[in-house]
Structure 1
Amino acid sequence: MSLSLPLPPPRPRRIAFAGTPDDAVPALQALAEAGFEIPVVVTGAPRRRSRRGSDTPSSVAAAAEGLSLPVSHDPADLAGCDADCAVVVAYGKLIGEDLLAVMPMLNLHFSLLPRWRGAAPVERALLAGDDRTGVSLMALEATLDTGPVYWHREVPIGPADTAAGLRRRLARDGALRLADSLHGGLSAPRPQAGEPTYARKLTPADRQIDWSQPTAVIDRQIRVGGAWTTLDGERFIVRKANPLADGPDDPPGTLRDGSVATRDGMIRPAVVQPAGRVAIDAQDWLRGARLPSGTRFG
């Protein structure tokens, strides 16, 4: 870490906060409930959630207002609030070294650093077939997720875990550990050890199902969320599904008895979303669609 970047005091009492989505809310709430002073909450600006909707505040902004905490959309306010340090959780923007030079910052990151630095650590861990993930508290640096680490909290990844469920668990567990560690006093952070991997943001191509892949790979892709294939040339989203060990010897992508063939087994969709429609129980949809066995997806 650059020698010019200050570290927070071991027991900060006045803590600024920066975060934006649902995943950051438990940490903000845990700090408030633990009695820390929070002079400002910096978050992303209000956004329009749909074409016809109006701008709505971020999840963190809504939580801060519920806690009667002041909200800002300017990261410079982190340095202008006389805080001992700032805690950053899924803020969504890089913070420059000029700001880090005057305000020590802690970052709660949802991976076991240095594995899965970057924007989508939970999704990448699940796609890669990792059997565990976790949450880390690190000193924030201007470079991407490279700071020294105060602690890790490890969380196993089960065979039915989804990315959404893992993020909720990591957000909750990380928030509790964060508040406890700040109350108890931070030890000196240690440099990250191990081979870094990078969790780039998922693209639509990352979510497209290739039915010629093994069942386990497709199952993980569906559990990440937003996995899609095509049916009659239109996008078809598989929201939930159950992997099956084996099935008929059909070409990958073939529908047979409510399940779809993969390289080495079958996937039985549970919740699907055809083009232009809302999500629906897969078997209800199949009864209405009356697709013949042998229909091909993808």
Structure 2
Amino acid sequence: MNNDFKRLAFVGTPELSVPFMTSLCSSGYDIGVVVTGEDRRRGRGEEPSPSPVKRAAIEMGLPVIHEIEEVENFEIDLAVVVAYGSFIPVDLLERVQMINVHFSLLPRWRGPAPIERAILAGDAKSGVCIMEIGEEFDVGGVFTRQEVEISPRDTTETLRDRLIEAGCELLVSTLGDGLGAPVPQVGEIVWAEKVTPQERAIDWGLEAEKIDRLVRIGGAWTTFRGERFKIWKAEANTQQIQGSPGQLVGDQVASGKGALRLIEVQSQNRARQEFDSWKLGARLEENCVFGDG
């Protein structure tokens, strides 16, 4: 462990941040304070509940605050930020050294949705960067990076899990070796906007492999009998089948190029289920079509 960073602040909010906090603790780092988002309601009518990071921090006996400015009240050598989700004042960055963990190979996929965008684009690899925090999002220099291969069947969840594992190891080793000088980002800058619900709507005129990537990021939807219909698991078939785009043929839906074999689906206001089970109860007519409005 590098003696320059004996005492840390950890700054994060969602579930994916928790393994980084626990990895730092198990590696011998003293976390003097945890900064996380405010308690909020997770569902209609529910009482406000703590963020996953706050819940884990309390279980570990760590002090928790919600206002990032208050981090100055604690004696720390460095603040580690992992998916905090709130603005960090620029003047605070001038007084408290902070580093960030980002889930892409910067400068490709700067922004809030790098994992989903990498899968949608058909990228062969993603990665993790340990970077400095600047005035603008994800533009700071990079201390260290680690590539992670994207497999042809990766979903947002499976890729995220591998990035978290690689990121935890990278963070601990980076702190242990000392940060050194950050390297400016070089290469094509690509922004990773959040994927909107409308972007998740399936265009059956596209090739099946592109539709499959949309399904693998989660929340892909079409319409059936005038109602929203989600597809949670599927496989692309590059062979063309008889049928117009959107037409169901057996367990496959024809597309602009190839077809999509349906595995797990969800009708509106129903639970997710295997396609074969859904099909048995759907009373399908001949030549039924998805994307019917």
Q: Name the TM-score class by shorter chain.
A: over 0.9
Matched residue SS, 2:131: strand
* Residue 88 of structure 2: aligned partner: 95
Question: Retained in 2: the 8 A contact 1:109–1:136?
Answer: yes
Q: 2:99 aligns with which of 88, 103, 106?
A: 106
1:126 maps onto 2:143 in alignment: no
Question: Retained in 2: the 8 A contact 1:122–1:163?
Answer: yes
Question: Retained in 2: the 8 A contact 1:11–1:186?
Answer: no
CA distance in 2, matches of 1:271, 1:249: 22
Alpha-carbon offset, residue 247 of structure 1: 4.1
Question: Retained in 2: the 8 A contact 1:15–1:36?
Answer: yes
* Residue 76 of structure 2: aligned partner: 83
Matched residue SS, 1:98: helix
Q: 1:166 aligns with which of 159, 169, 172?
A: 159
Q: Which amino acid aligns with 1:56?
A: S
Q: Which amino acid aligns with 2:138?
A: D
**Aligned positions of 1:1-298 closer than 5 A:** 11-298=4-291
Q: Which amino acid aligns with 1:295?
A: C
Question: Retained in 2: the 8 A contact 1:140–1:147?
Answer: yes
Matched residue SS, 2:159: helix
Alpha-carbon offset, residue 177 of structure 1: 1.4
CA distance in 2, matches of 1:33, 1:145: 28
Report Cα offsets for 1:240-283 as digits up to 9, x if no partner.
11111224231111011021111111111111111001111111
Alpha-carbon offset, residue 184 of structure 1: 2.4
Matched residue SS, 2:70: helix
Matched residue SS, 2:167: helix
Structure 1: any 5+ residue segments left out of the alignment?
1-8
Report Cα offsets for 1:133-157 as digits up to 9, x if no partner.
0000001112010000001100011
CA distance in 2, matches of 1:247, 1:257: 14
For the aligned residues, what is the CA RMSD? 1.3
CA distance in 1, matches of 2:127, 2:3: 23
Alpha-carbon offset, residue 77 of structure 1: 2.1
Matched residue SS, 1:180: helix
Report Cα offsets for 1:23-74 as digits up to 9, x if no partner.
1111111111111111111111122222133222111111111211111111
Matched residue SS, 1:205: coil
Q: Which amino acid aligns with 1:254?
A: Q
Identity %: 45
Alpha-carbon offset, residue 94 of structure 1: 2.3
Question: Retained in 2: the 8 A contact 1:20–1:43?
Answer: yes
Question: Retained in 2: the 8 A contact 1:42–1:74?
Answer: yes
TM-score normalized by structure 1?
0.94
Alpha-carbon offset, residue 79 of structure 1: 2.2
Report Cα offsets for 1:174-203 as digits up to 9, x if no partner.
012101221222221111111211001111
CA distance in 1, matches of 2:69, 2:212: 43
CA distance in 2, matches of 1:166, 1:82: 36
Question: Retained in 2: the 8 A contact 1:127–1:221?
Answer: yes
Matched residue SS, 2:223: strand
CA distance in 2, matches of 1:10, 1:194: 34
Q: Which amino acid aligns with 1:116?
A: W
TM-score normalized by structure 2?
0.96
